[in-house]
Amino acid sequence: MEEADLFYRQLPKVELHAHLNGSVSFSTIEKLVARKPHLNIEHGMTAIRSGQRRTLDEADIPIICQRKRRRGQRAGCFVRTRRRCFQVFKVIHQLVDTEEDILMVAKDVIREFAADGVKYLELRSTPRKEKTTGMTKRRYVETVIEAIRQCKNEGVDIEVRFLVAVDRRNGAEVAMETVKLAEDFMLSTGGLVVGLDLSGDPTVGHGRDFLPALQKAKNCGLKLSLHLSEVPSQADESELLLNIPPDRIGHGTFLHPEVGGSQSLVDKVRKHNTPLELCLTSNVKGQTVSSYSQHHFLYWYQMGHPSVICTDDKGVFCTDLSQEYQLAASTFNLSQEDMWTLSHKAIDCTFAPDLQQQLHQKWLELQPTLFQL
């Protein structure tokens, strides 16, 4: 990981798109590997280092590649490569299969975001059960909540909320069960569970299958953050999901007309003023965007549309939010004042309206010191 400038480290930041297992750092992976030497897992199986250019076909381990999509390449090749990117999470799941693992991982991730200047964090994760260890989906979520509470009690300078994730690979029936679980925790955790995430391999299933579950979630008061248009040729699915509408959009890579989306999709996003969670390094290393300069951040930013810079999977992609902010600034020639404004406006996109005034005050208190650096 390249070290970001002090300004970006000190800049107070909001992280709204962080998958728990994808955010596990090198140091935490080392601790997990030491606990499970029988798995014979190397760190190269769980992260991408800067400059790695091996393709998936060349790799002998499940590593995410950075091969660019060639002009004229068939969409099917692109989609198959994107699908294989999700293999890396299977390796991480092998390392994180007990309540003890979840507690350590969640606390480490929270502390690391706080150390990077993140003042408000929304973590997301799919509840998992493990027959071999006896961990249930309910205990999975309870353990993440316990980690949030322990960090709060230990004085870690960050506010954390949790989104329960629906993995589209598990189908509609499991999605409905997950919504019920999320609703239970929304009502029982004093506001720590704030929403529902729809994620997982975007090439599996169709968004229409999840409409009943998503509508139920919205009706019971859960906020919705939906991964949308991550891969090409999903315009019909995006139209359906935007009609709900979601409260935020994850990635939205292929929404706009310049990359195969449509003006109709853009108009729907703008009509509801739906914020986008944009993850630069994730999209470049995951091959959905060919380069940083081609990232759709600029399209939405120039339009003045609510856009929040996020990490997605800081561990897997070897980044952090300070680095993502600095990348956006250098790539698109944005000033420190521009980045301050972007960070400050991100507060209004959070799923914790009760904290927004408090966060705005904190930003204003930190501003004079920051611009003296």
Q: Is residue 230 annotated as a catalytic residue, yes or no?
A: yes
CA–CA distances in Å: residue 195 to residues 28, 228, 262, 361: 26, 16, 28, 24
Domains in the chain, number: 1
Backbone angles phi, psi at 312, to 5 degrees: 75, -75
User: Is residue 301 a part of any domain in this protein?
Assistant: yes
Q: Can you give the pTM of this predicted structure? A: 0.89
Buried/exposed 339-354: b ≥16 CB within 10 Å, e otherwise: bbebbbebbebbbbee
Query: Rounded CA gap, 141 and 135, in Å?
Result: 10
User: Is residue 1 a part of any domain in this protein?
Assistant: no
Q: Which domain holds residue 266?
A: 6-370
Query: Rounded CA gap, 54 and 88, in Å?
Result: 14
The set of residues, in sequence order, having a beta carbon less than 8 Å from that of 43 and lying 6+ positions away, is 26, 29, 30, 33
| Strand ordering across the sheet containing 248-251 | 13-19, 118-125, 159-167, 193-199, 223-228, 248-251, 276-278, 307-309
User: Is residue 314 a part of any domain in this protein?
Assistant: yes
The strand ranges marked E within the chain are 13-19, 118-125, 159-167, 193-199, 223-228, 248-251, 276-278, 307-309
User: Is residue 342 a part of any domain in this protein?
Assistant: yes
Q: What is the CATH number of the domain that holds 304?
A: 3.20.20.140
Residue of 99, 122, 159, 230 with catalytic role:
230
Query: Rounded CA gap, 152 and 167, in Å?
Result: 28
pLDDT per residue as tens, the chain (373 positions): 455 699 999 999 999 999 999 999 989 988 888 887 777 665 555 554 554 432 222 222 233 333 333 333 334 434 443 444 556 666 777 888 899 999 999 999 999 999 999 999 999 999 999 999 999 999 999 999 999 999 999 999 999 999 999 999 999 999 999 999 999 999 999 999 999 999 999 989 899 999 999 999 999 999 999 999 999 888 999 999 999 999 999 999 999 998 888 999 999 999 999 999 999 999 999 889 999 999 999 999 999 999 999 999 999 899 999 999 999 999 999 999 999 999 999 999 999 999 999 999 999 999 999 998 6
User: Is residue 208 a part of any domain in this protein?
Assistant: yes
